[in-house]
């Protein structure tokens, strides 16, 4: 080759080498800026927006669940207390009925006396009542018999006691039996039922010992007074446990309400912290500027933006590896045997983040650092998808958005794989050219 042509070729190679190196420098600065912006954005968003926000939301959700449990427990205990109050009211009602017992019995006896003195009027007045059971009505001569009269009075007294007993069973014992939370019950329902049986036996014994109590005014008062006293002793024995239980439940309700008030205060604090996190979002610059969307939507698109940013970074790294390869080939044309212009000099003059001239283990740290955005992407996707499984968490987790954002997250994952593949392919070409 003529000397002039050789000189021109060398000059052209020199100019081409300089142009490629200048372009490499420009691309390298662009890569560094993209690297710095992407990593700063990813780490800041992860640690001051994403993790704090979802920590707040998860704590909020758990506090809400605990509040619901407390509310149910409070309602349950209030129902128990209402049951106890109703039992107490039933006992008061029973006392009132027993106190009216002598008067009620006197009215009954007076009504029987009128029927005996005016049987025709009685039959006329009660025709429609007596007609269905006419066969069981004794003849007038039997109705005037004293034994029949005594039997009717004792039956009336038995009816009164049956009425008292029904009040105890229906309004005291049965409501207490339906309380199935045995760990909350300190009284013995079986003992209360046994006490009612004892009360019935005592009444029968009192009636058998004094069947003519109704004859005198004081006899009626003493009989019903004795019955009232037995009811009172019955409740003193068994009602004390119920009163104790009611007080214990009231104490529990007060404790639960204090805990609920503390949870309300925590929720208010969490709301303030959530507002602070939202204000931080306005201070963070996305790689493509600020996004005109809310906090929930920004969090949902964060993995997508991260994947796009990483793809830009990977393409920039691919380009500077390609430029360094061209620069390397042209620069060493002056020293093909690499006696003076060695690979180490190339590495010093034009360094790369992942350098094909380095040993694989030396590039491992750089590769790990380059993989941080991908790790943050995985963490963000897991957190976001998990949050959508919590009931009432964010509206963006509705059915349609599950498919929409799930598909976009999958596409973002493919962008990461594509970026890694482009860099790996360029590194392989570099080795092949060597």
Pick from 171, 206, 189: nearest CA to 242 = 189
Does residue 331 register a pLDDT over 60?
yes
What is the mean pLDDT of the segment spanning 322-336? 80
If one counts every other C-beta atom within 10 angstroms of the C-beta of residue 211, the result is: 13
**Spatial distance between the Cα atoms of 420 and 414, rounded to a whole number of angstroms:** 10
Burial code of 63-88, b = ≥16 C-beta within 10 A, e = fewer? Answer: beeebeebeebbebbeebbebbeebb
Does residue 274 register a pLDDT over 70?
yes
pLDDT the model gives residue 314: 95
pLDDT tens track for 98-122: 888 888 888 888 887 776 666 554 4
pLDDT the model gives residue 434: 61
**Spatial distance between the Cα atoms of 147 and 45, rounded to a whole number of angstroms:** 99
pLDDT the model gives residue 355: 87
Burial code of 408-427, b = ≥16 C-beta within 10 A, e = fewer? Answer: bbeebbebbeebbebbeebb
pLDDT tens track for 397-428: 455 567 788 889 999 999 999 999 999 999 98
Does residue 128 register a pLDDT over 50?
no
Does residue 43 register a pLDDT over 70?
yes
Does residue 89 register a pLDDT over 80?
yes
Does residue 20 register a pLDDT over 80?
yes
pLDDT band at 136 (very low <50, low <70, confident <90, very high): very low
Does residue 127 register a pLDDT over 80?
no
Q: SS3 for 202?
A: helix
pLDDT tens track for 284-325: 655 555 555 677 778 888 999 999 999 999 999 999 999 988
pLDDT the model gives residue 286: 55
Which two tokens mark 226? 């004795």
Higher pLDDT, 235 or 179: 235
Do 331 and 17 meet the contact criterion of CB atoms below 8 Å apart?
yes
**Which residues, other chains included, contact 112 with Cβ-Cβ below 8 Å and sequence gap of 6+?**
149, 152, 153
The region of weakest confidence among 163-172, 374-383, 400-409 is: 400-409
Q: Report domain extents, the chain.
A: 68-270, 285-433
Task: State the chain's mean pLDDT as an integer.
Answer: 81
Percentage with pLDDT > 90 across the chain: 18
pLDDT the model gives residue 142: 46
The region of weakest confidence among 114-123, 141-150, 188-197 is: 114-123
Do 156 and 108 meet the contact criterion of CB atoms below 8 Å apart?
yes
Percentage with pLDDT > 70 across the chain: 81
335 dihedral zone (left: phi>0; alpha: psi -120 to 50; beta): beta
């Amino acid at each position: 080759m003529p000397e002039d042509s050789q000189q021109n070729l060398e000059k052209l190679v020199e100019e081409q080498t300089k142009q490629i190196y200048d372009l490499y420098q420009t691309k390298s600065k662009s890569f560094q800026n993209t690297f710095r912006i992407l990593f700063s954005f990813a780490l800041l968003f992860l640690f001051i927006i994403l993790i704090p926000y979802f920590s707040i939301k998860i704590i909020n959700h758990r506090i809400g669940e605990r509040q619901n449990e407390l509310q149910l427990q409070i309602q349950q205990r209030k129902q128990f207390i209402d049951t106890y109050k109703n039992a107490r009211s039933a006992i008061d009602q029973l006392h009132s009925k027993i106190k009216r017992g002598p008067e009620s019995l006197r009215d009954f006896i007076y009504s029987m006396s009128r029927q005996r003195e005016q049987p025709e009027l009685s039959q006329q007045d009660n025709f429609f009542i007596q007609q269905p059971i006419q066969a069981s009505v004794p003849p007038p001569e039997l109705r005037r018999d004293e034994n029949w009269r005594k039997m009717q009075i004792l039956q009336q007294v038995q009816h009164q006691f049956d009425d008292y007993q029904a009040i105890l069973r229906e309004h005291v014992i049965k409501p207490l039996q339906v309380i199935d939370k045995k760990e909350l019950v300190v009284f013995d329902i079986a003992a209360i039922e046994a006490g009612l049986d004892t009360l019935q036996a005592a009444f029968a014994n009192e009636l058998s010992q004094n069947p003519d109590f109704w004859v005198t005014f004081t006899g009626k008062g003493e009989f019903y007074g004795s019955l009232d006293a037995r009811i009172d002793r019955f409740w003193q024995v068994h009602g004390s446990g119920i009163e104790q239980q009611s007080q214990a439940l009231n104490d529990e309700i007060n404790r639960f309400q204090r805990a609920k008030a503390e949870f309300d205060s925590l929720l208010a604090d969490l709301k303030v912290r959530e507002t602070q996190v939202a204000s931080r979002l306005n201070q963070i610059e996305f790689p493509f500027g600020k996004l005109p969307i809310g906090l929930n939507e920004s969090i949902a698109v964060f993995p997508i933006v991260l994947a796009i940013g990483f793809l830009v970074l990977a393409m920039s790294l691919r380009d500077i590896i390609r430029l360094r390869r061209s620069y390397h080939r042209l620069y060493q044309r002056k020293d093909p045997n690499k006696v003076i212009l060695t690979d180490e000099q190339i590495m010093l003059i034009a360094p790369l983040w992942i350098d094909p001239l380095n040993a694989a283990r030396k590039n491992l740290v750089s590769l790990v650092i380059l993989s941080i955005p991908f790790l943050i992407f995985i963490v963000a996707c897991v957190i976001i998808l998990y949050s959508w499984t919590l009931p009432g968490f964010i509206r963006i987790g509705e059915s349609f958005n599950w498919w929409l954002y799930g598909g976009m997250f999958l596409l973002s994952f493919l962008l990461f794989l594509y970026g890694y593949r482009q860099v790996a392919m360029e590194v392989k070409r570099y080795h092949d050219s060597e």
